[in-house]
Amino acid sequence: MSGSRKAVWAVIGGLALVSAVAGAGGVAMSLYANHRAKEDPAAAATGRSVAPRGDLARFATGSLTALEIPADTSAPDYVFRDRNGTAVRFSAFQGRVTVVNLWAMWCAPCRQEMPTLAALARRYSDREDLLVLPINVDATDAGVAEAKAFIDDHAPLPFYSDMRFQLPFEFPGKGKMPQTLLLDREGRVRAAMTGEADWDSPEAHALIDALLAEGVTPAAG
């Protein structure tokens, strides 16, 4: 083959290779986009910025070492009661990041970590989009009365109750106590912790700040 023909075929071959690489890149990008859409269909549908599920695992440090990132699930459609006995569901708190803490007077670690939850609520008291929601699961009238007095010593925490002691089994901890769940604004369980933790620690603040930042559009400069 002459030198000129070799040069022509080299150019054609190079163009074919570029085309093939570009096509492969396009396919790869398409597959990646489809994967992200499947990973977080809510984000794909609404355009809301939501951290991939595994990203929150980086906050499992310090007192949150046992933090778990469960498979995508919504908070249960389960009725519990407020201080006055009015029926409440988790759907009532959608639109806010909610720190759900399941506790009982007979659970010593529950009582020990309660001051840190109260401190957390005070720290974020200026944020209407954050709620610290302890739910007591004592099953007797005497236990509930004692729990109300206890929670009153930990302002500004509210009192909610599940006397059927069912809620701890509705969440990933499956009955373990204490159990704390982080719900995002859509009411999805994004992180779960079983056992005592310091909820006014730097790692807890970082986790909550990450959830609060989701879906927030930065102000124009």
- 198 found inside a domain: yes
| Cα–Cα dist 221/49, whole Å | 20
Q: Are both 87 and 192 inside the same structural domain?
A: yes
Q: Are both 60 and 162 inside the same structural domain?
A: yes
* Residue (of 25, 15, 50) closest to 36 by Cα position: 50
CATH number of the domain encompassing residue 174: 3.40.30.10
Range of the domain at 198: 51-213
Question: Torsion over CA of 148, 191, 184 and 59, rounded to 10 degrees?
Answer: 110
Give one DSSP letter per residue of 116-143, joined into a string: HHHHHHHHTTT-TTEEEEEEE---SHHH
pTM: 0.75
Q: Are both 173 and 64 inside the same structural domain?
A: yes
Per the structure, how many domains does the chain have? 2
pLDDT tens for 110-156 read: 999 999 999 999 999 999 999 999 999 999 999 999 999 999 999 99
pLDDT tens for 37-68 read: 334 444 444 444 455 555 899 999 999 999 99
Neighbours of 5 (CB within 10 A): 9
Q: Are both 15 and 61 inside the same structural domain?
A: no
